[in-house]
Amino acid sequence: MDYKQIYFSWLNDERLNEEARKELMAMAGNEEEIEYSFGAELEFGTAGMRGVIGYGTNKMNVYTVSRATQGLSQFIQSLGDEAKEKGVVISYDTRLKSDVFARAAAEVLAANDIKAYLFSDVHPVPMLSFAVRALGTTAGIMITASHNPKQYNGYKVYGADGAQMSPEDTKIVVESINKITDYLGAPVPTESQKRAYIKPVPSKVDKKYYKELTKLTLSKKAVKACGKDLKLVYTPVHGSGYVPVTTILKKIGINATVVEEQTKKDTEFSTVQVPNPEFKETLSMGIALAEKIGATVVFGTDPDSDRLGVAVKNDSGEFEALSGNQVGILLLDYILTRLKEDDALPENAAVVKSFVTTGMAKAICANFGVTLFEVPVGFKFIGEKIKLWERDHSHTFVFGFEESCGYLRGTHARDKDAVVASMLCAEMVCYYTYKGTTVFDRLNEIYKTYGYVLDCNISIQYKGLNAMKEMNGVVNALKVAPVKKFGIYEVASFRDYSSDTKIDMFTGEKSAIGSPKTNCVYYELKNGSFVCVRPSGTEPKLKIYYSVKANNKSDAEAALEKLKAAVQELLDGLNG
């Protein structure tokens, strides 16, 4: 059927709920909207699915959620009765319809005689990841669109280890989902099935989570001396981080002034343009409060509290938003410094970062004698390293991070954890306050010690039903003829992650990268800088990452502009 036929088949189906019927009737005559809503199916990728909230096969609604959950249910059923009894834990954030979608998922599981543990209120990604492990469930479901605009929602699936489901298992689930052509035909549980299979998450799970986090503190002396009087501002940006972040800070004895207006669970995120704390504008109310009380650090979490954004007051007395890379190197430096000072740094300590994350991590880890591992984008790959080391004991996980404001210390969760990152951030402020310095001063000291690195990424938006195909096509074209120079910058090696191949551009020698395959190209430059191009796995954006090494900030900024121009020239040549 074409999209018009699918549209009318939904509209004329007596099973369609009244809200959906009204929305679809309002689309009548709007060819573009009908095509967008029904001209494709919402893609379920390795990170789950994400889309605009609304009715249609290409949007987030109870029918696409129920269909996805039915596919997951069939996968769990194939694992046997024990997997069904272990069940699935479901969490959700503060976005529009998140609670509705969570309940819909629970009911589909119940209709399949699969136990569903459902949180009674919003809980962030890391607490869902922890709950999967604490309850020993077969899987987990998180309803969220992370830091995306308010119009979006999403659906993420977690495996039994608490990490996002493996590509192998996801493939099986997707195959099951794709076989379901009747979107409105998800099984409906009886009242007895609801009572038997839908259970609340025990309150002890939250208590265990907080207990695990308190074990990760690093500066008790500094916190005792400065924590109660600390001038620090936190905003949950209307998200699920409010309760857990303020709870853990209170437990360890750190005072944080909260932006009260942004503690409300507001589905419109009405005080910000986009609920992404990476942007200074999103932290503007926090910055205004910081100016008022004399604080020098502002931090915020996104709706599902897996990302942490930080702004600090600089030497000019103005607040500047730090990038995910800068926060990452600050936390990395702080964690390794404190572990070494306390003689608690394991001999086989390891740090994991995505390969698009700052090149500075290599120098910091080398200085502390810590092994650094690089993995593809996606925190599940960091989770896989943790799982591997728990089995073979070859390394001890110390810290993992991604440039997209995602950080994890501890093995209690297997995804980005902005709650533990918030705790460490606040503790770090205490530590430097106790030392008579600031977080901004420490950042500058890091640059003086290791050299200046400027990290930046840009996104090229694609639109239309073929957006994902088009941007993957650009990356595929870059693999055909690896470039040897970007302007004056020589390429030392070229990596094609889709074929696990690295080419030395001076000798032509080929070798294996030794990394899971993903559609991405990476250019390592002669001076240690790099350029990486990859399609986003969750939205129609082509992402280009730059990490530029230079003597100082001004030289790095000038080099970055030249590098950007050279890369754009290459892309224009592909399009031309």
What percent of the chain has a predicted confidence (pLDDT) above 70? 99
Q: Which pLDDT score, from 0 to 100, does residue 43 have?
A: 87
Task: Locate the domains of the chain by residue range.
Answer: 40-202, 209-450, 452-575
Decide if 312 contacts 323 (C-beta within 8 A): no
Picking from 17, 50, 54, 18, the residue whose alpha carbon sits closest to that of residue 33 is 54
Q: What is the mean pLDDT of the chain?
A: 95
Q: Which pLDDT score, from 0 to 100, does residue 482 have?
A: 83
Identify the H or E element spanning 441.
Answer: helix 439-450
Please write the tens of the pLDDT for every residue from 21-31.
999 999 999 99
Q: For residue 206, which phi and psi values (nearest 5 degrees)?
A: -60, -45
Q: Is the per-residue pLDDT at 32 higher than 90?
A: yes
338: Cβ contacts below 8 Å, ≥ 6 apart = 218, 219, 431
Residues in the chain: 576
Give the N- to C-terminal CA distance of the chain in Å, as an integer. 35
Write out the two tokens for 511: 């070798």
- pLDDT-based confidence at 89, cuts 50/70/90? very high
Helix or strand or coil: residue 358? Answer: coil
- pLDDT-based confidence at 576, cuts 50/70/90? low
Known catalytic membership, residue 146: yes
Please write the tens of the pLDDT for every residue from 155-212.
999 999 999 999 899 999 999 999 999 999 999 999 999 999 999 999 999 999 999 9
Beta strands in 336-424 (DSSP E): 349-354, 371-375, 396-402, 406-408
Decide if 309 contacts 277 (C-beta within 8 A): yes
> 170 vs 45, 65, 491, CA distance in Å?
8, 15, 36
* CA 264, chain centre distance (Å): 23
| Amino acid at the residue 214 | T
| Amino acid at the residue 51 | G
Write out the two tokens for 284: 């503007």
Decide if 457 contacts 248 (C-beta within 8 A): no
Fold of 452-575: TATA-Binding Protein (3.30.310)
- DSSP label at residue 201: P
Please write the tens of the pLDDT for every residue from 231-254.
999 999 999 999 999 999 999 999
Catalytic residue among 146, 176, 284, 305: 146
CATH topology of 209-450 equal to that of 452-575?
no
Cα angle 92-94-98, degrees, rounded to a multiple of 5: 50
The secondary structure of 463-520 as a DSSP string is: -STTHHHHHHHHHHHHHHS--SEETTEEEEEEEETTTTEEEETTT--EEE--S---S-
Q: Is the per-residue pLDDT at 537 higher than 80?
A: no
Which residue, chain included where needed, has tokens 């650090």?
Answer: 297
Strand partners, 152: 52
Distance CA 538, CA 164 (A): 14
The predicted model gives 536-552 an average pLDDT of 87
Decide if 77 contacts 114 (C-beta within 8 A): yes
Distance CA 489, CA 491 (A): 7
Question: Which of 68-72, 272-276, 423-427, 526-530 comes out lowest in average pLDDT?
Answer: 526-530
Q: Could you tell me where the DSSP H helices lie in 257-310?
A: 284-293
The predicted model gives 66-85 an average pLDDT of 98
Picking from 118, 90, 111, 97, the residue whose alpha carbon sits closest to that of residue 17 is 97
502: Cβ contacts below 8 Å, ≥ 6 apart = 493, 494, 495, 496, 510, 511, 512, 513
Q: Is 490 exposed, middle or buried (0-12, 13-18, 19+ CB in 10 A)?
A: middle
Q: Is the per-residue pLDDT at 145 higher than 60?
A: yes
Please write the tens of the pLDDT for every residue from 343-371.
999 999 999 999 999 999 999 999 999 99
Q: Is the per-residue pLDDT at 392 higher than 80?
A: yes
The predicted model gives 432-438 an average pLDDT of 97
Question: Which of 5-9, 261-265, 340-344, 533-537 comes out lowest in average pLDDT?
Answer: 533-537
Decide if 324 contacts 356 (C-beta within 8 A): no
> 293 vs 101, 254, 424, 441, CA distance in Å?
40, 16, 22, 20
Distance CA 64, CA 169 (A): 19
Burial 527-545 (b: 16+ CB within 10 A, else e): ebbbbbbbbbbbbbbbbbb
- DSSP label at residue 308: E
Q: Within 10 Å of residue 572's Cβ, how many Cβ atoms?
A: 9
- DSSP label at residue 60: B
pTM of the entire predicted model: 0.94
Fold of 40-202: Alpha-D-Glucose-1,6-Bisphosphate; Chain A, domain 3 (3.40.120)
Distance CA 326, CA 446 (A): 10
Helix or strand or coil: residue 65? Answer: helix
Decide if 324 contacts 404 (C-beta within 8 A): yes
Q: Is 481 exposed, middle or buried (0-12, 13-18, 19+ CB in 10 A)?
A: exposed
Write out the two tokens for 191: 């009242």
Q: Which superfamily, per CATH, for 209-450?
A: Alpha-D-Glucose-1,6-Bisphosphate, subunit A, domain 3 (3.40.120.10)
Q: Is the per-residue pLDDT at 467 higher than 90?
A: no
DSSP-based helix, strand, coil % in the chain, nearest 5? 45, 20, 35
Write out the two tokens for 347: 């001999």
Q: Which pLDDT score, from 0 to 100, does residue 396 have?
A: 98
